[in-house]
Structure 1
């Protein structure tokens, strides 16, 4: 089969012929249609991740969309989203014509959301939805602040907060292009990030009306410091990542006086059932146009270019590899 193969750690994959996967017991064979290029793919293939250096050659791709060809748990022809552990454990991923997938990592899909849209949403959608519902326990009428709002998680979190009946959704963005994506996703207001935390706190307070009930934070760093100062009584800040650094400063008096919560989140804490339920919920809203994420499609033969663009941050949304079968 054709696949994008990492031959040397730290270098982009290239299109090559690769052995077809042979599903082990408890796995299904999926004919891949689309797969997103996400930061975790690049991290694993760098050989520097905390998972350890993967053996090469291997096929990257930690998530994808396709159709079941062979399975003991789903009928052939079932359209599915799937996750893989490519680059984290032995085995190949989704950047190929076919992929062997553990049965528990398959999620049957509705017919009303295109493959590329499902791939663009994927596990980012699971993270945004569960950060709001499971960790923050967001309630209708609450005010939500989304940091890093121009990224995939941020855009989805904006739409999800809207779908969950937030009274106001404010976005914080790094660039004007990100700001436009946040507004397109449904934010009431979108502010630009600034390096001065005091100034940022003041501007966020003006935009939000003074305080917020829920903060969705995929960036941490100074943005999280400013956001934490605006937490309402009982407010919750849910951290999903550290794109702006691994440290933030929180005021003990603010947290104590408002009984506020700083919470961590990772998709790795979810059961397969939780992941499937979250993705299904997001796709229902996506089909109705309430949740969107900017994305661009690239053919599998152009994987090296797509990979390099992702590494350089030269993207306007999620990059989706599409797989044509010959």
Structure 2
């Protein structure tokens, strides 16, 4: 029985309204600033109502910030990170939940403890690895002295130097971020709730492990996959430190990085109206994704908790 009290209802609604105001006020401020000219923004008192220059400022922000190209980069990176994390996490969780191999739980706990090592902590070794992705193979060649073996056969020592630089590439922006301990943990917990009878029935029918994974587990995991995809898309879209460090070509930057170049500097025109308008544009795709898929998000989170 749910007991309803008028006083508690009023208090809860007041708290919700206050929270909504706190969340929406900065967005409203960005809309107001983005709809005025630079002179109007800098005037005193500052305007509190939207102006008439919103769409003109939006066009200026789009052209000045090269947001067309940067949006393409952001979509490629965000979708690549999302698909990569989901694929790797599903397969790793499937292996840990359904296969009995040596040190299985050790591997799981090693994956789980990686939660304590976000990309900001391992930024330098990650940068070194992606700047030359062939470095482990180069180390193996040096240890085995492959050049010496070739020299013994040909009479002339050969120096083998491998260099696979992934700077300013989509692969370099995506691959270091596709492992997800959180998604692996959540998918493993969900797979453990799947009745064992389904696995036994698939085995009796002669289904291979991959067939069971594709035909049984994936359809059952759709709501979880969609919910995690929304979260991971937001994660990929909002990446700042890794693209900032890894890209030197402005055409390979992401939309979030593009905002940095629109923020007025001390020796430039204080065009905060352009910067605020660009911020609203960059914020729009994640908002559309969350609003369009919010039902799946809630369903996936609720199903994960069962």
What TM-score do the two structures reach when normalised by structure 1?
A: 0.24
Q: Larger relative contact order (C-alpha < 8 A, sep ≥ 6)?
A: 2
Whichever of the two has the greater Rg, that structure is 2
In proportion to residue count, which structure has more helix?
2
TM-score, normalised to structure 2's length?
0.25
Which has the larger strand fraction? 1
